[in-house]
Amino acid sequence: MTDGPDAAHQRPEGLSDITVEALGKLSEALEVVERIRGHLYSLHQLTGEADFKLDEAVSLFMQAGETKVAERIEQELIGRNVLAGRWTFQVVEEYDDGYYAEFKTIEKDARDELAEGKRHLYEAELKERRRTRGRPGHEARP
């Protein structure tokens, strides 16, 4: 069959509709977790950017003779932990090594056990239901 999904996106024999839907929801949840991870990396980078901008603020306050404000920023903000005992790189590492790694493992194990490791079966079948066969831009495959 050339006018349908490739073998990597065809439902294995005997896999039920509800299982395909459940795998789709699990995949969708993983996509949300991937977005969360991206936001954590944004937090990490933006916090570092803000911390370095504080150096500039301290320098300007010192030039302006506002040493009390400059010293408070240096002592209380620059290099401060964002969470108890943690800089953002530690938050990202803990998330990556814990929740994220376990989520990825469980999602992959479910696909391997139930669907021969195939990804996006729900979406592939959704594409087949929604595309217009024979119409340009609606091809099943590249």
Q: How confident is the model at residue 1, as a pLDDT?
A: 59
Query: How many Å apart are CA 87 and CA 94, to the nearest integer?
Result: 11
| Residue at 98 is within a domain | yes
| Residue at 5 is within a domain | no
Query: How many Å apart are CA 20 and CA 16, to the nearest integer?
Result: 6
Tell me the mean pLDDT in the region 4-17.
95
8 Å CB contact between 18 and 110:
no
| Residue at 123 is within a domain | no
Say what percent of the chain tops pLDDT 90: 97
| Residue at 46 is within a domain | yes
- Domain extent at residue 38: 18-117
Tell me the mean pLDDT in the region 52-67.
98
With bands split at pLDDT 50, 70 and 90, how would you rate the model's confidence at 3?
Answer: confident
84-127 tens-digit pLDDT: 999 999 999 999 999 999 999 999 999 999 999 999 999 999 99
| Residue at 61 is within a domain | yes
Tell me the mean pLDDT in the region 27-42.
98
* Three-state secondary structure of the chain: CCCCCCHHHCCCCCCCHHHHHHHHHHHHHHHHHHHHHHHHHHHHHHHHHHHHHHHHHHHHHHHCCCHHHHHHHHHHCCCCCCECCECHHHHHHHHHHHHHHHHHHHHHHHHHHHHCCCCCHHHHHHHHHHCCCCCCCCCCCC
| Residue at 125 is within a domain | no
pLDDT at 68 over 80: yes
Q: Higher confidence at residue 63 or residue 3?
A: 63
| Residue at 127 is within a domain | no
Number of domains in the chain: 1
Q: How confident is the model at residue 2, as a pLDDT?
A: 73
Tell me the mean pLDDT in the region 55-59.
98
